[in-house]
Chains A and B, each alone.
Chain A
Amino acid sequence: MKSLQPILEEHPFFKGLERKYLELVVGCASNVRFEAEEVLFHEGDQADRFFLIRQGKVALEMTPPNKAPMIIDTVEEDLVFGWSWMVPPYQWHFDAQALTLVRAIAIDGKCLRKKCEEDHELGYELFKRFFSVVTERLQHTRMQLLDVYGAQT
């Protein structure tokens, strides 16, 4: 079976990560595929992994009380999503549904958490990368909250 290492090595998210750490990540990685409209996970489910999208588009959804589900973000090729595996109680905070056929690499969060506990350098490298993703998403969410197009004259 072909290793996922070359794919992870080239992914911008893992750029600059030492080979020994990359090998540890590869040990927790697997290829996954979701058909269009297939649900990746529901809010409240155990957040036991994160995803690197290789192909396709995923909608992240939340359901306001007494309203239809709203898509709050979409993620596609080359993006990473899911950081709930890092933070107790390790539960998803939104639903995720494939909008198209999705091919991705799923990284087992429990497996990776264990390796991070054993090697804090690996943990630090991963947290740095995830912190950057989280910050970017927070900025985007703030912009969405501003409702800039609604206020324009």
Chain B
Amino acid sequence: MQGNPSTVMQPMVPSPHRILKVRRETGDVFSIETQPQAEESDFPFTPGQFNMVYVFGVGEVPLSISGDPARRKTLTHTIRGVGWVTRALQELKKGDMIGVRGPFGTPWPMEVAPGNDVLVIAGGVGLAPLRPVIYQLQAEREKYGNVSILYGARSPDDILYGKELEKWRGRFDLHVDVTVDSAQRGWMGNVGVVTQLIPKAMPDPDNTLAMICGPEVMMRFTIKELQKQGMSDTGIYLTMERNMKCAIGFCGHCQFGPQFICKDGPVFRFDRIRSIFGKREM
């Protein structure tokens, strides 16, 4: 377990955080920025890690961290309001308190990425757990080869972090391509699935690390396309979601074959889960 010292000591005890900002991102997706209220007010994390976020009196939910890892004084989560807890989070306002346990889980492979081309592939709200990666790639841009960000969304209205994507697209040292499943006339961007964007973004498959986050079916097709382009399974990383409860590998709720998503994941190198990935009974 990395990061927050209080969590390392007492992983089941949430620490109080005050909400600084709630921002609506798309129709049912919003981001909350919080500040730890404990004495050690820094909240270090590595891209890919998640927290258990507690809405007092309602319940707890695992949420990926979507903010900048260099900004340690505040913490950002991007959430889709689909269940009891996430809908309750949606109702909270600036100044309200929540509980946070974390950070938990394995990070994206930022330690092995330097020297390689990096391909970030996200679908839907799956861009949120990859945004910390994108911040770090930009902050240390000289360490990496070509950096491409490929993003697929349902429609133009569902594009997450639209303004930031535009900003990233404006950089000469990033290749950013976005596609949507369908659009009304007037949309000048791509329409189609995210896998269609891969061939143009893959100059050197032997020297590329791919990081994927999105619905499992999207990740399955993405992996097939990466393999078709010549990528090896050891260069492909993905993040998995299951019903995480304790977040420390005790309760077994998030068991995925021989692994626990909360402890052994959520980020996995594809060759390590290949035999169980995409199996219905898993």
Query: Do these two chains really belong together in a complex?
Result: yes
CB of B141 within 8 Å of the partner chain:
no
What's the nearest-Cβ distance from chain B to residue A38, in Å?
14
The DSSP consensus for interface residues of chain A is mixed
Residue numbers in B under 8 Å from A71 (CB-CB): 182-185, 187, 191
What's the nearest-Cβ distance from chain A to residue B198, in Å?
12
Q: In the complex, A138→B74 CA distance in Å? A: 45
Digit string of A136-153 for contact with B (CB within 8 Å is 1, else 0)?
000110011011111111
Digit string of A58-88 for contact with B (CB within 8 Å is 1, else 0)?
0111000000111111101000000000000
CB of B218 within 8 Å of the partner chain:
yes
A148 contacts B217, C-beta separation under 8 Å: yes
A149 contacts B152, C-beta separation under 8 Å: yes
Residue numbers in B under 8 Å from A59 (CB-CB): 185, 191
B193 contacts A143, C-beta separation under 8 Å: yes
CB of A29 within 8 Å of the partner chain:
no
B193 contacts A61, C-beta separation under 8 Å: no
**How many residues of A are in contact with the other chain, CB < 8 A?**
27
Interface centre among B125, B126, B158, B183 (most CB of A within 10 A): B183
CB of A112 within 8 Å of the partner chain:
no
CB of B188 within 8 Å of the partner chain:
yes
B188 contacts A99, C-beta separation under 8 Å: yes
**How many residues of B are in contact with the other chain, CB < 8 A?**
32
Q: In the complex, A149→B181 CA distance in Å? A: 9
B192 contacts A74, C-beta separation under 8 Å: yes
B218 contacts A147, C-beta separation under 8 Å: no
B221 contacts A143, C-beta separation under 8 Å: yes
B124 contacts A152, C-beta separation under 8 Å: yes
B158 contacts A149, C-beta separation under 8 Å: yes
Q: In the complex, A68→B183 CA distance in Å? A: 10
Residue numbers in A under 8 Å from B192 (CB-CB): 73-74, 140, 144
A140 contacts B153, C-beta separation under 8 Å: no
Q: In the complex, A139→B181 CA distance in Å? A: 13
Report which of B80, B154, B185, B187 forms a contact with A147, defined as CB distance below 8 A.
B154
A70 contacts B183, C-beta separation under 8 Å: yes
Digit string of B96-123 for contact with A (CB within 8 Å is 1, else 0)?
0000000000000000000000000001
B80 contacts A152, C-beta separation under 8 Å: yes
What's the nearest-Cβ distance from chain B to residue A141, in Å?
9
What residues make up the interface of A, taking CB atoms closer than 8 Å to B? 57, 59-61, 68-74, 76, 97, 99-100, 139-140, 143-144, 146-153
20 new A-B contacts at CB < 8 Å, known A69-B185, A143-B217, A147-B154: A57-B190, A61-B185, A68-B184, A70-B184, A71-B182, A71-B187, A74-B189, A74-B192, A143-B195, A144-B182, A144-B193, A148-B124, A149-B124, A149-B153, A149-B214, A149-B215, A149-B218, A151-B215, A152-B124, A153-B80
